[in-house]
A and B are shown apart, each in its own frame.
Chain A
Amino acid sequence: NAGVTQTPKFQVLKTGQSMTLQCAQDMNHEYMSWYRQDPGMGLRLIHYSVGAGITDQGEVPNGYNVSRSTTEDFPLRLLSAAPSQTSVYFCASSLGLANSYEQYFGPGTRLTVT
């Protein structure tokens, strides 16, 4: 099992560019989510999905789109990057939405927007 994988590990974008951060898991987890981590802050929830075809917004969804066409993949799209989106992005997955389930985190993607 590879667990939760994220690509790329690092990315630099110019303001206004678009890109997709990839996240995949091979544990057959129904629940997947995206967080961002800014200096001096904990992780904040961007979007989450409780299964293929179902997504919902978290605490900081503006500027990001998601879709869930398969159980394994949950990409995060930045349509028009802004310097405020400079952050480290983490993808996580768990068996389900139930609070008891442990969330497994990917290694993160460090994104810089200039």
Chain B
Amino acid sequence: AQTVTQSQPEMSVQEAETVTLSCTYDTSESDYYLFWYKQPPSRQMILVIRQEAYKQQNATENRFSVNFQKAAKSFSLKISDSQLGDAAMYFCAYRADGLTFGKGTHLIIQP
């Protein structure tokens, strides 16, 4: 079974600075997808970014980018120029039959 580990229960960053959220996973598959989801206080799950395991190039979506290290089974999320609206829970997820989620990182943005 796949497992996803987020070792940072909470992170805090000053507005406009950069923050990196960590995620590691365990799988025996060679082809898979990884995702980062954002969950604001409204509790709606919002897809932030996705990465295909067979692609070596790291995915980027505006201020959000990932550092995907397949051999190390690591998938960190970098948020540049942090904004107050980025404050939320962030979940790393691996997709097999469904999504396997980590326990989440609570991101606090300090004004």
Task: Encode contact with B along A3-45: 1 for CB under 8 Å, 0 otherwise.
Answer: 0000000000000000000000000000001010000111111
Number of interface residues of B (CB under 8 A): 23
Residue numbers in B under 8 Å from A107 (CB-CB): 42-44
Other-chain residue from A40, A42, A48 in contact with B97 (beta carbon distance below 8 A): A48
Interface locus among A66-74, A78-86, A98-106? A98-106
Query: Across the two chains, which residue of chain A brings its CB closest to B32?
Result: A99
Chain B residues with CB under 8 A of A44: 101
21 cross-chain CB contacts under 8 A:
A33-B98, A35-B98, A42-B93, A42-B103, A43-B99, A44-B101, A45-B97, A45-B99, A45-B100, A48-B97, A59-B100, A92-B99, A99-B33, A99-B95, A99-B96, A100-B33, A100-B52, A102-B47, A103-B95, A105-B45, A107-B43
Q: Which residues of B contact A (CB under 8 A)?
A: 4, 31-33, 42-45, 47, 50, 52, 91, 93, 95-104
